[in-house]
A = this chain, B = another copy of it.
């Protein structure tokens, strides 16, 4: 399949290495994921996760952040949460050749409308619920990413990564409810978040009138803590696998 090219003495084969990104955001109360429409075979016309080949001088993290900037059109992606998921390496996952892909999950507060990246492919935010079927094994990658993000909400302060710099506790609660697909009790959620030191910090004297109706909510910023001890466990659904 591959022609050896001078590295036979190391008894190894060369592989193409790519990064694939599952970029999540919240739009209008629903979890959305960034997808691109493939312009060429294989899977031409199908939707896929954004990604690309690793360049010789960059790490997978660097490549993922570069792709993230290209596909979202954001000028500064340095502060965004980017997390390595796992690596997919099944033979045959790309019909062209042997490709090993390092998958990442990224979280955006609220995202600008995505116009195709530098590679002219059309990029679009798609509701997570209606995403797929995708090209290659990207359905699996996307599902793994969603699982990981949901799990990390439980024991980290990651939820603030979905929020604007200043946010209300109601918006923070919506992050949990949207990603988990469950409803949470508002007073209990408040109590838990405020009782966790460093999760959020109040913005003194500031309040937002979200839609107009109702009492204006106090504004908070993300705190300095990263872990949640004890965790904020999602409601135990019967029969949920590990």
Determine the distance from Cα of A229 to Cα of B233 in the docked complex, in whole angstroms. Answer: 9
A203 within 8 A of B: no
Q: In the bound complex, do residue B59 and residue A13 qualify as a contact, i.e. CB atoms below 8 Å apart?
A: no
- Please tell me how many copies of the chain the complex holds: 2
Q: Which residues of B contact A56 (CB under 8 A)?
A: 1-2, 13, 91, 98
Contact A15:B13 (CB < 8 A) given known A58-B91, A229-B233: no
* CB neighbors of B among A1-42 (8 A): 1-3, 5-7, 10-18
Please encode chain A, from 36 to 68, with 1 for each CB lying within 8 Å of some chain B CB and 0 for all others.
000000000000000001111111110000000
Q: In the bound complex, do residue A233 and residue B230 qualify as a contact, i.e. CB atoms below 8 Å apart?
A: yes
Q: Which residues of B contact A13 (CB under 8 A)?
A: 53-56
Q: In the bound complex, do residue A100 and residue B3 qualify as a contact, i.e. CB atoms below 8 Å apart?
A: no
Determine the distance from Cα of A104 to Cα of B231 in the docked complex, in whole angstroms. Answer: 26
Q: In the bound complex, do residue A7 and residue B231 qualify as a contact, i.e. CB atoms below 8 Å apart?
A: no
Q: In the bound complex, do residue B84 and residue A102 qualify as a contact, i.e. CB atoms below 8 Å apart?
A: no
- Give min CB distance, A236 to chain B, whole Å: 5
Interface residues on A, range: 35 or more
Q: In the bound complex, do residue A14 and residue B5 qualify as a contact, i.e. CB atoms below 8 Å apart?
A: yes
Contact A6:B7 (CB < 8 A) given known A59-B90, A102-B89: no
Q: Which residues of B contact A55 (CB under 8 A)?
A: 13
Determine the distance from Cα of A98 to Cα of B60 in the docked complex, in whole angstroms. Answer: 12
Q: In the bound complex, do residue A5 and residue B3 qualify as a contact, i.e. CB atoms below 8 Å apart?
A: yes
A122 within 8 A of B: no
Specify the chain B residue showing the minimal Cβ separation from A236. Answer: B229
Determine the distance from Cα of A90 to Cα of B57 in the docked complex, in whole angstroms. Answer: 9
Q: Which residues of B contact A17 (CB under 8 A)?
A: 12, 15, 17, 89, 100
Specify the chain B residue showing the minimal Cβ separation from A15. Answer: B17
Q: Which residues of B contact A11 (CB under 8 A)?
A: 53
30 A-B residue pairs with Cβ-Cβ distance under 8 Å, sorted by A, are A2-B14, A2-B56, A3-B5, A3-B6, A5-B5, A5-B14, A11-B53, A12-B18, A12-B54, A13-B53, A14-B14, A14-B16, A15-B15, A15-B54, A15-B100, A17-B89, A17-B100, A54-B100, A56-B91, A59-B91, A60-B87, A60-B89, A84-B87, A87-B102, A89-B102, A100-B100, A155-B155, A227-B240, A229-B236, A231-B233
